[in-house]
Chain A
Amino acid sequence: MRVLAKAVRMAGICLWAAVLLVGAEVDVDPLSFDRRIAPLLDTLCYPCHNGEKTKGDVNLKQDQDLRQIIDHRATWQIALKKLRASEMPPAKAQVQPSAAERAQLVGFINRTINNLDCAHSADPGAAIARRLTHAEYDNALRDLLGLDLRLSQSFPADGVSFGFDNNGAALTMPPVLAERYYDAATAALDALWSDPQARAHLIGMPPGNGAGEEAAARAIITRVATRAYRHPVEPVHLDRLMTLFRMARRQGLPFADAVRPMLQAVLISPRFLVRIEENRPDELGPYPLGAYDMASRLSFFLWSSPPDDVLLAAAAANHLSRPEELEGQARRMLADPRARALGEHFAGQWLQLRALEGHRPDATAFPEFTPGLKQAMAEEARLVIDEVIMHDHPITELIDADYTYLNGDLARLYGIAGVEGPAMRRVQLADHRRGGLLTMAAVLTFTADPLRSNIPRRGNYLLSAFLGEPPQSPPPVVPPLEDSAGHDAQLTIREMIDLHRRNPDCAACHAKIDPLGIGLENYDAIGRWQDQQAGKTIDASGSLPGGEVFDGSVALKRILLAHRTAFARSMSSQLLIYALGRGLIYPDDCVLDDMLAALERSSYRFSALVVTVVLSFPFTHRRNPDS
């Protein structure tokens, strides 16, 4: 019975898991889990991680076969790490494994969840239709009408998943948004009607009456709808749009005004607002994307905009199925100013730079923090990122670089002489206290509190954004730090952090978090260099769990550069999430490996990442949606 139940369950699993299982069962004695592993888990792990007791929100007991373990791979990945580091079972647990038992468990978990056969497990993930993000909507209207209206400012903010606002699942279409789209379409057409030049560009001059007029209207709407839908339009759909034109003419509207209802319909059509990719009903598994869908994926990824004429022509000629052509297009587009969208939307969200906008340092403590300075901080980050993207620099310049962009205000904040005036300019740096994102005022400010620096928050930021190792959540009940210290107002934050570490409930995670933040302790809450705090000289030295010691941000950056693979993998996974508009699945590990290899081959140049993503299996393939 049990075997049968298992077989039935198996029938429903995705292809790659099946492939993996077959692979795993070739390697491993199929009964080894029940016979050898389950008893170990039972004595070592289940006591705290079962259905009722789930310390750290971890339930290992729910996974009773290999497939379930693979399904909950992220959890088991952490378990593997903890087992390897002998962090689990905790020292206080009564039952401890022998070295051999630990090795056996580690070997089993590793084989089960890290045994991806990239030749056989390619998977594009579930099909999902992505609604245009607000930025994409604005750009699409701009390309369509020739007017940069930024109407999405009136839309409610999009949800954020995995740090990005372009996640397919989170891009919902609530009724409120339908109203906004309708009003925005009306506003856009109002704007077009009040701009004779733009209107003439789109609609042209009214033709003579009769058959010529019909043909002219059809030509207009064919052109507009094709561009708006990013895809050739079926004649039957054009026929339906034309009924609106005829109706308007019958009601006595002049030619241009009679075209308008068709435009209104196009602008509120889901074909415009949603990227609906073509199905191939006959295909059971993944298949290559259609040419126009490929063009859209590429341009929304690199430009946050619909495809331009060159890309549409390449799609029409069916060139995009050739990898060299696809790469050529990607490189062309990366060099185009529209690729700044990657800096703004990808890097800006990955590195959380949008947080600066809403952050307000205390005005009394930091009168220097003017709107102008804040603007310069944001610009500095944007310009350095643009330089890496547009000029294809090594991505390690985001950790440390010998240049940055400053204006007079920002240079004064940094204590750098010789830069005056409001304009931002490229500045060669004399030392490494600046250079790279981490030591930029923008990042140092939004990772601080309004009044003071915040060591754990800065450490958390570094771990999450730069090293791709977001700390686990703190226990919901955080014991007050001062209980063991009394109310001593003169404690520096550094001293408070030391208390942090003495508390066993906090210590495990904060041993990783705090040192990174401490390394940045020489920068105050608006990113200004400081040698002293509360009358004491700042001690920005620390040691990392790996044993490396450092003193201050310059040394910390050097360590991060030495660990550049971790940074590169973090950035790669973020870029892949952004490009695919979904969370990563197990087979995506193969793409990440390819991205890292491409970086190594290219001295870490940014374009290596982009080209590898664009040519990857999940980016160029899809499957039919479940129904």
Chain B
Amino acid sequence: MIDGVGHSASALVSRRAVLRGVGVALALPWLESAEPASAAPSKPPLRLGFFYLPNGVVMDRWKPTTTGSDFAFTQILKPLEPFRSRLLVLSDLAADHCEARVAGHENAGGGFLVGATCARSEEPKAGGISVDQLAARVLGEQTPVDCLTLGVESGGRGEFGYSGTYLSHLSWRSPTSPAPVEINPRQLFTRLFRGWRARSPAQERSAAQPADGSLDRSVLDLVREDAWSLRRTLGTRDREKLDDYLDGLRTIERRIAGGGVPEPDRLGVGELADAAPAFPQGQDLPPVYADHVNLMLDILVLAFQADITRVATFMFGSEKSDRAYPEIGAPGSHHSTSHHGNKPENLSALTLINTHHASLFARMLARLQQIKEGDGTLLDQVVFCYGGGISDGAWHNHNNLPILLAGGGGGTLKGGRHIAFGRKTPLCNLYLDMLARCGVSLDRFGDSTGRLAQLA
């Protein structure tokens, strides 16, 4: 169990089935089959991902003791060692925007990707738009889904005058509009794959239904025009909500029209449906944490592979999560344990949790590496930030953060190194750099002072 693969004996996911889906049925790399023979093959796109660790980590079991290319993997990072050449461990990064005078976790979650602190209010108001959403505004134009916001825990109530949304939501479309976190793998899969078939079964049964989708489009047109007329009667804030809804209706229209949508057959999604991950019965979530995470990440890999989206966030847990991990020998509440008081048993339990997360992340990197794309693998075409907004859970400090970068960045990242910047360096510099690599050029993000040096 602690080996990293994280499958319980009663694994609900048929690993082989998924591998078949990934490795065989979806062997076609990014749009290669769509390229006319005469045209030069286009460069596969970069995918951007943020993988969040809540409640801090045991830093001295995370941070390598030496810098440069021959650093030794620490206990927590050990599961990632097979991907050494595609990793950059980045030390001394700081997120002042995760700082709050009170409440150590709220700004860490709600501020992490936004680069600014959240308002202390029960009605959520983040400090701006998150980095993934900024990227999605550009990269999302070219894919059916602009970005994915995934996790394994839904949000809860707030405390101390802060909205609970900050704890469970990294991704903010606007200061008042957190992107909903999808936690149900079956629903996610349906939305991304089977959902893209324009016609419902009932319509298929109806022989007289014309297949051109003109009726569906007219329905959407009507609702959209009507919504526009309603818009005038609403206040500013409600208008913003309605505009979001209209955006959603446009996505549905694209899906009906088939424009920009990968043809299921071309991407092997039809076969994928047969070799689809085995979901748990009913609407329930997989009871074992590792199964749940693996299922979500498997689907994410598929979405990246099929170029359904190029931007994603994933939370290994909400900030302040009380999840217990009895299956790996950490039966206490994660949050309570993170207030470790330097007790050896708490530090051991936390280390187990931190290592477990690294194993699950490593498993996903392994899958990405198995998928051929262009001249390399899908792992070469990603830029993933893995880490969290709290360094030590007992101190809630937001400097010296646990952060690493995974992926080849399209050949632009020189991995295999531990870089310690030596002095406090804004985490936002990393974001600025990640955005630039994906073709989104900004002068500033949050408290950035420039792109992070030494990555290439």
Given contacts A157-B154, A261-B219, contact A276 B160 (CB under 8 A): no
A269 and B223 within 8 A (CB): yes
| Chain B residues, CB < 8 A from A269 | 223, 226-227
Pairs A–B under 8 Å by Cβ, sample size 7: A174-B173, A174-B177, A178-B251, A180-B191, A257-B206, A261-B219, A480-B342
Chain B 282-298 interface mask (CB, 8 Å, partner A; 1/0): 01000000000000000
Given contacts A177-B248, A178-B252, A626-B235, contact A451 B395 (CB under 8 A): no
Complex CA distance for A358 and B156, rounded to whole angstroms: 11
Partner of B165, one of A159, A264, A627: A159
B206 and A177 within 8 A (CB): no
Asked if B155 CB lies within 8 Å of chain A CBs, one says: yes
Chain A 393-415 interface mask (CB, 8 Å, partner B; 1/0): 00000000000000000000000
| Chain A residues, CB < 8 A from B169 | 159
A176 and B180 within 8 A (CB): yes
Asked if B42 CB lies within 8 Å of chain A CBs, one says: no
Using CB atoms, name the residue of chain B closest to A173. Answer: B245
Name the segment of B95-103, B264-272, B371-379 touching the other chain: B95-103
Within 8 A of A (CB), among B128-178: 146, 149, 153-161, 163-165, 169, 173, 176-178
Asked if A2 CB lies within 8 Å of chain B CBs, one says: no
Rounded to whole Å, the gap between the CB of B415 and the closest CB of chain A is: 33
| Chain B residues, CB < 8 A from A131 | 241
Complex CA distance for A270 and B238, rounded to whole angstroms: 11
Using CB atoms, name the residue of chain B closest to A278. Answer: B233
A56 and B102 within 8 A (CB): yes
Partner of B343, one of A175, A352, A482, A625: A482
Complex CA distance for A363 and B288, rounded to whole angstroms: 13
| Chain A residues, CB < 8 A from B3 | none
Asked if B408 CB lies within 8 Å of chain A CBs, one says: no
B333 and A186 within 8 A (CB): no
9 cross-chain pairs, A with B, having the tightest CB-CB distances, nearest first: A178-B248, A625-B235, A156-B180, A175-B248, A480-B341, A473-B160, A473-B102, A157-B154, A476-B104
Chain A 477-519 interface mask (CB, 8 Å, partner B; 1/0): 1101111000100000000000000000000000000000000
B180 and A478 within 8 A (CB): no
Given contacts A264-B219, A363-B326, A476-B396, contact A128 B235 (CB under 8 A): yes
Rounded to whole Å, the gap between the CB of A424 and the closest CB of chain B is: 23
Complex CA distance for A483 and B331, rounded to whole angstroms: 24
Rounded to whole Å, the gap between the CB of B234 and the closest CB of chain A is: 6
Asked if B179 CB lies within 8 Å of chain A CBs, one says: yes
| 12 extra A-B contacts, CB within 8 A, seeds A163-B157, A169-B123, A251-B210 | A156-B154, A157-B183, A170-B124, A173-B242, A176-B179, A179-B191, A179-B248, A179-B251, A194-B202, A240-B225, A478-B394, A480-B341
Asked if B274 CB lies within 8 Å of chain A CBs, one says: no
B343 and A169 within 8 A (CB): no
| Chain B residues, CB < 8 A from A476 | 100-104, 395-396
Given contacts A189-B202, A240-B226, contact A252 B178 (CB under 8 A): no
A270 and B230 within 8 A (CB): yes
B332 and A161 within 8 A (CB): no
Given contacts A177-B180, A183-B195, contact A241 B222 (CB under 8 A): yes
Most chain B CB atoms below 10 A, which of A131, A161, A270: A270
Chain A 156-174 interface mask (CB, 8 Å, partner B; 1/0): 1101111100010111111
| Chain A residues, CB < 8 A from B340 | 480
Complex CA distance for A172 and B159, rounded to whole angstroms: 21
Given contacts A156-B181, A156-B182, A364-B331, contact A127 B235 (CB under 8 A): yes
A contact set with B: CB distance below 8 Å: 54-57, 74, 126-129, 131, 153-154, 156-157, 159-163, 167, 169-183, 186-187, 189-190, 193-194, 237, 240-241, 243-244, 247-248, 251-254, 257, 261, 264-265, 268-271, 273-274, 276, 279, 349, 352, 355, 358-360, 362-365, 449-451, 454, 470, 472-478, 480-483, 487, 583, 625-627
Rounded to whole Å, the gap between the CB of B159 and the closest CB of chain A is: 7
B157 and A157 within 8 A (CB): no
A157 and B180 within 8 A (CB): yes
Partner of B178, one of A57, A172, A187, A477: A172
Using CB atoms, name the residue of chain A closest to B284. Answer: A153
A169 and B237 within 8 A (CB): yes
| Chain A residues, CB < 8 A from B437 | none
Asked if B32 CB lies within 8 Å of chain A CBs, one says: no
B200 and A473 within 8 A (CB): no
B226 and A583 within 8 A (CB): no
Asked if B60 CB lies within 8 Å of chain A CBs, one says: no
A482 and B342 within 8 A (CB): yes
Given contacts A476-B396, A481-B341, contact A160 B209 (CB under 8 A): no
B218 and A583 within 8 A (CB): no
Rounded to whole Å, the gap between the CB of A162 and the closest CB of chain B is: 5
Rounded to whole Å, the gap between the CB of B342 and the closest CB of chain A is: 6
A265 and B223 within 8 A (CB): yes
B182 and A126 within 8 A (CB): no
Rounded to whole Å, the gap between the CB of B325 and the closest CB of chain A is: 10
Rounded to whole Å, the gap between the CB of B150 and the closest CB of chain A is: 10
Asked if B324 CB lies within 8 Å of chain A CBs, one says: yes
Using CB atoms, name the residue of chain B closest to A624. Answer: B235
Complex CA distance for A173 and B182, rounded to whole angstroms: 15
Complex CA distance for A475 and B324, rounded to whole angstroms: 25
B247 and A175 within 8 A (CB): yes
Rounded to whole Å, the gap between the CB of B141 and the closest CB of chain A is: 14
| Chain A residues, CB < 8 A from B332 | 362, 449-451
B333 and A157 within 8 A (CB): no
Given contacts A161-B163, A257-B209, A478-B394, contact A54 B236 (CB under 8 A): no
Most chain A CB atoms below 10 A, which of B158, B179, B322, B339: B322
B251 and A253 within 8 A (CB): no
B215 and A247 within 8 A (CB): yes
Complex CA distance for A625 and B231, rounded to whole angstroms: 12
Partner of A475, one of B102, B158, B177: B102
Most chain B CB atoms below 10 A, which of A189, A482, A625: A625
Given contacts A176-B179, A362-B331, contact A450 B202 (CB under 8 A): no
Within 8 A of A (CB), among B281-329: 283, 322-324, 326
| Chain A residues, CB < 8 A from B120 | 57
| Chain A residues, CB < 8 A from B210 | 251-252
Partner of A161, one of B124, B201, B251, B322: B124
B244 and A173 within 8 A (CB): yes
Asked if B208 CB lies within 8 Å of chain A CBs, one says: yes
Rounded to whole Å, the gap between the CB of A54 and the closest CB of chain B is: 6
Rounded to whole Å, the gap between the CB of A245 and the closest CB of chain B is: 10
A159 and B226 within 8 A (CB): no
Complex CA distance for A450 and B164, rounded to whole angstroms: 21
Using CB atoms, name the residue of chain A closest to B230. Answer: A270
Asked if B187 CB lies within 8 Å of chain A CBs, one says: yes
A362 and B235 within 8 A (CB): no
A268 and B223 within 8 A (CB): yes
Within 8 A of A (CB), among B180-228: 180-184, 187, 190-191, 195, 200-202, 206, 208-210, 214-216, 218-220, 222-223, 225-227
Rounded to whole Å, the gap between the CB of A58 and the closest CB of chain B is: 9
Rounded to whole Å, the gap between the CB of B189 and the closest CB of chain A is: 11
| Chain B residues, CB < 8 A from A481 | 341
Given contacts A156-B182, A177-B248, contact A454 B336 (CB under 8 A): yes
Chain B 380-398 interface mask (CB, 8 Å, partner A; 1/0): 0000000000000011110
Rounded to whole Å, the gap between the CB of B355 and the closest CB of chain A is: 20
Complex CA distance for A402 and B251, rounded to whole angstroms: 56
Most chain A CB atoms below 10 A, which of B153, B209, B344: B209
